């Protein structure tokens, strides 16, 4: 494998154990809380696939992106449904979009995020294909002229209306275990519950790797993914990309879709020089546990629990002009755009290079 941008697929061989990092001990009345594999989990696995040699690692890893491999070898990527899409209160088969609307309501946000997003419905949930998300970013999915769309039209997957028939891409399996000493002797009464995640048939985790121009290493599997030594196969894949950005941003209005959990310096708020935050639809904070087992002191010395903006969150920004919006989103002759990149942290920040805060840009009205 040479330098440039390459996509890798991590296909679990069995269940995954990915915890949220909060306290959990055997013998206590508690069970672990499973979470979707985070950028740091996938980034660590890819680092191992490239040999795990410090100093010889990708410039950046952007992901994970959930995807399903079809029998013909091609992939369909899936992204969390945008947080401003809701299901009608009266008819759950219809999908609507919340709209920024002027209001006399007073909040503690001051002049920031001035407009509430208005509409009636329940959170949509589920996952959109990359093609459908692209239509959403271009403003073609739900429009003022066509304010309602059916669930069938949107090709929404893994909605989980009925966990028995659609349990989601990663099916939860509750198991009971018994704690053991370091010499693998069981400890009487030290029972615990752990919830594992079993990917449905064909589901894998993809990530884009940005590699140095001199890169010559090959990704080799299997590698450990998550806890308890669970393994995943590794393969380079073709025909996968981030949904494309719009061709323009009328009125300087830019929608920001959060594709991977984001740990912004400003908490839930995104900070963009030259733009005003008009409105936002942000999901509940997502716990992210990170650690660096190869650093001095190992996991115990480096582990940390952070709270992230969840994937699927949406921000509406207003720039002074369409040109300024275009330059920020997709770049110009003097700088690179932010579409499809990790945003909001310094260039050499490990949280950014591991893939936290990948954003996609679109339009809003």
pLDDT tens column, 45-59: 999 999 888 777 899
Higher local confidence (pLDDT), 300 or 95 = 95
Instruction: Classify residue 153 as exposed, middle or buried by CB count within 10 Å of its CB (0-12, 13-18, 19+).
Output: middle
Whole-angstrom distance, CA of residue 167 vs CA of residue 12: 17
Q: What is the mean pLDDT of residues 294-313?
A: 81
Please tell me the predicted confidence (pLDDT) of residue 271: 93
pLDDT tens column, 325-347: 999 999 988 789 999 999 999 99
Within a 13 Å sphere around the CA of 98, how many CA atoms are in the beta-carbon half?
A: 26
Whole-angstrom distance, CA of residue 19 vs CA of residue 69: 26
Most confidently modeled range among 56-60, 64-68, 113-117, 181-185: 64-68
Query: What is the pLDDT confidence band of residue 359, given thresholds at 50, 70 and 90?
Result: very high
pLDDT tens column, 235-245: 999 999 999 99
Least confident of 119-123, 152-156, 237-241: 152-156
Whole-angstrom distance, CA of residue 42 vs CA of residue 53: 16
| Start-to-end CA span in the chain (Å) | 43
Provide the greatest CA pair distance for the chain: 68
pLDDT tens column, 191-204: 877 888 888 888 99
Query: What is the pLDDT confidence band of residue 27, given thresholds at 50, 70 and 90?
Result: low
DSSP 249-285: -GGGEEEEEE-S-B-BTTBT----TTEEEEEEE----
Residue 135 host element (H or E): helix 130-137
Whole-angstrom distance, CA of residue 20 vs CA of residue 327: 37
Higher local confidence (pLDDT), 211 or 185 = 211
Query: Which residue in this structure is represented by tokens 């795990």?
Result: 52
Closest to 172 measured CA to CA, from 139, 156, 194, 141: 194
Angle at CA of residue 236, ends 336 and 76, nearest 5°: 80
Average pLDDT value over all residues in the chain: 86
pLDDT exceeds 80 at position 74: yes
Please tell me the predicted confidence (pLDDT) of residue 241: 94
102 Cβ neighbours under 8 A, 6+ residues apart: 115
* Alpha carbon of residue 80 to chain centroid: 8
pLDDT exceeds 60 at position 161: no
Q: What residue spans of 31-120 are helical by DSSP H?
A: 39-49
Least confident of 126-140, 173-187, 277-291: 173-187
Residue 5 host element (H or E): strand 4-12
Closest to 135 measured CA to CA, from 169, 85, 205: 85
Contact 151, 164 (CB under 8 A): no
DSSP 311-349: TT-EEEEEESSHHHHHHHHHEETTEE--TTEE-SS-TT-
């Amino acid at each position: 494998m040479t330098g440039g941008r390459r996509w890798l697929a991590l296909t679990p061989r069995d269940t995954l154990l990915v915890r949220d990092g909060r306290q959990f001990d055997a013998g206590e009345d508690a069970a672990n809380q499973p979470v979707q594999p985070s950028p740091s989990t996938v980034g660590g696995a890819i680092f191992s696939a490239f040999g795990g040699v410090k100093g010889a690692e990708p410039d950046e890893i952007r992901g994970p992106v959930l995807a399903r491999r079809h029998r013909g070898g091609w992939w369909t990527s899936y992204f969390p449904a945008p947080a401003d899409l809701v299901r009608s209160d009266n008819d759950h088969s219809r999908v609507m979009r919340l709209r920024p609307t002027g209001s006399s309501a007073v909040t503690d946000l001051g002049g920031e995020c001035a407009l509430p997003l208005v509409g009636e419905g329940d959170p949509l949930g589920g996952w959109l294909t990359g093609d459908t998300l692209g239509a959403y970013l271009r403003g073609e999915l739900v429009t003022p002229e066509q304010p309602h769309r059916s669930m069938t039209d949107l090709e929404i997957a893994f909605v989980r209306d009925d966990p028995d028939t659609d349990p989601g891409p990663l099916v939860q399996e509750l198991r009971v275990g018994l704690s053991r000493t370091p010499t693998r002797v069981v400890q009487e009464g030290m029972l615990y519950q752990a919830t594992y995640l079993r990917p449905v048939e064909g589901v894998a985790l993809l990530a884009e790797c940005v590699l140095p121009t001199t890169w010559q290493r090959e990704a080799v599997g299997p590698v450990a993914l998550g806890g308890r030594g669970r393994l995943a196969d590794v393969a380079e894949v073709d025909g996968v990309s981030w949904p494309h950005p719009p061709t323009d941003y009328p009125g300087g209005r830019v929608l920001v879709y959060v594709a991977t959990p984001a740990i912004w310096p400003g908490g839930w708020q995104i900070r963009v020089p030259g733009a005003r935050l008009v409105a936002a639809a942000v999901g509940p904070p997502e716990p992210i546990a990170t650690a660096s087992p190869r650093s001095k002191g190992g996991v115990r010395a480096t582990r940390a629990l952070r709270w992230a903006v969840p994937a699927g969150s949406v921000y509406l920004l207003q720039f002074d002009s369409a040109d300024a919006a275009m330059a920020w989103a997709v770049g110009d002759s003097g700088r690179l755009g932010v579409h499809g990149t990790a945003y909001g942290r310094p260039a050499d920040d490990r949280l950014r290079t591991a893939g936290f805060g990948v954003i996609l840009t679109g339009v809003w009205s």
